[in-house]
Structure 1
Amino acid sequence: MTQHYFLKTAAIFTFSSLAIAFGALIYFGYQDYTHPKHVYGRWIELGVPSYQTEILVLNSDGVFRNQRLIATKFDFDGKQVTIETGDGSSIYKIAGTHNSPRLKRIAPDYMTQSFIKEGYEGTVKSHSAGSTTSRRNALAEHFGNK
């Protein structure tokens, strides 16, 4: 009876330890997945003339639009960035690829905006802002990926 009890206790302990380790792995993996560091940086608007290009900066200090602080924090759930300002909520969806990260505004939807992370501008076809062709290409890329 002692050996049977010992084996049963060892099996329960081993199973419990594995379950706790697996749960911790899932928890910490999710925490890393939803950490805002994945969207930190300068995001440059696509498809507009250079004099109208909007620069969105996301960092630990908050959200800056064209070098002006618009929010002291933002929420990131791994797929979307939500920014609360005095004008309401803006929601940006993570898009593009690992080699060409993009943000696309999905709310409010009165004006379509698409951003690319600074340093990846060369991955966009016809990025020379100001031309009608680049605006058309940016819109085609935006609506083609939905």
Structure 2
Amino acid sequence: MVSKVNSQTKPRSRFRSRNKLSIKEIFMWLIIIVLFVGMLKVTTLLAKTYQENQHPDSEVYGVWQEKDVAPYAAEQLIFTQDGVVFEGGVIDTNFYFDGKYLEYQHGDTLRRFKFLNKDLTEMKMLLSSGYQPVFQMSEKFQNNIR
């Protein structure tokens, strides 16, 4: 009976040594992690490239005028390849456009718009307050030329 007890304790020592990872296993896990991160980066890049091809920024290049407001009080936005122009000055050199939404930074505020039609001629500014102004394209630029 004593021999049976001794034989049962030996496998435990084998399991203890097996809990430690070998250098090969560590290296294998590092390679898997690096490949996974690389695949994520490539996927993100492909998605961004696809999005830019499906909805190029040039679709919104032009002059956008606030609707249903007195002309002297209406905001006017100009989107060009150089960025967003407001009151004669460039307020952001980048904007994000995905075919449904348009976003840009105006000072500390992120301005977000939702397009109201498939022709991309009207967009509503999404604000937390009650008033959500609608902008209409009044002049379209082709290749950044009026």
The answer, yes or no, to whether TM exceeds 0.5 is: yes
8 Å CA contact retained: 1:71, 1:85: yes
CA 1:64–1:119: 2 relative to 1, 3 Å:
closer
SS at match of 1:37: helix
Whole-angstrom distance in 1 between the partners of 2:99 and 2:128: 20
8 Å CA contact retained: 1:41, 1:57: yes
Q: Which ranges of structure 1 fall in alignment gaps of 5 or more residues?
A: 1-26, 121-146
In percent, how many aligned pairs have the same letter?
26
Match of 1:141 in 2: none
8 Å CA contact retained: 1:74, 1:82: yes
Q: Which ranges of structure 2 fall in alignment gaps of 5 or more residues?
A: 1-47, 141-146
Q: List per-residue Cα deviations over 1:77-122 (Å, max 9, x = no partner).
A: 1111111132210101111352x710110135453111111159xx
Give matches, 1:31-46, under 5 Å.
Answer: 31-46=52-67
CA 1:111–1:69: 2 relative to 1, 3 Å:
farther
1:79 to 77, 100, 119: 100
Q: What amino acid maps onto 2:123 in structure 1?
A: L
Q: What amino acid maps onto 2:57 in structure 1?
A: P
8 Å CA contact retained: 2:51, 2:98: no
Q: What amino acid maps onto 1:115 in structure 2?
A: F
TM-score normalised by the chain length of structure 2:
0.55
The number of residues matched between the two structures is 94
Q: CA RMSD in A?
A: 2.5
Whole-angstrom distance in 2 between the partners of 1:63 and 1:73: 7
Largest Rg, 1 or 2: 2
Offset of 1:39 from its aligned partner? 0.8
2:79 to 53, 58, 67: 58
TM-score normalised by the chain length of structure 1:
0.55
8 Å CA contact retained: 1:101, 1:116: yes
Match of 2:136 in 1: 116
Whole-angstrom distance in 2 between the partners of 1:92 and 1:73: 15
Whole-angstrom distance in 2 between the partners of 1:111 and 1:69: 25
SS at match of 1:47: coil
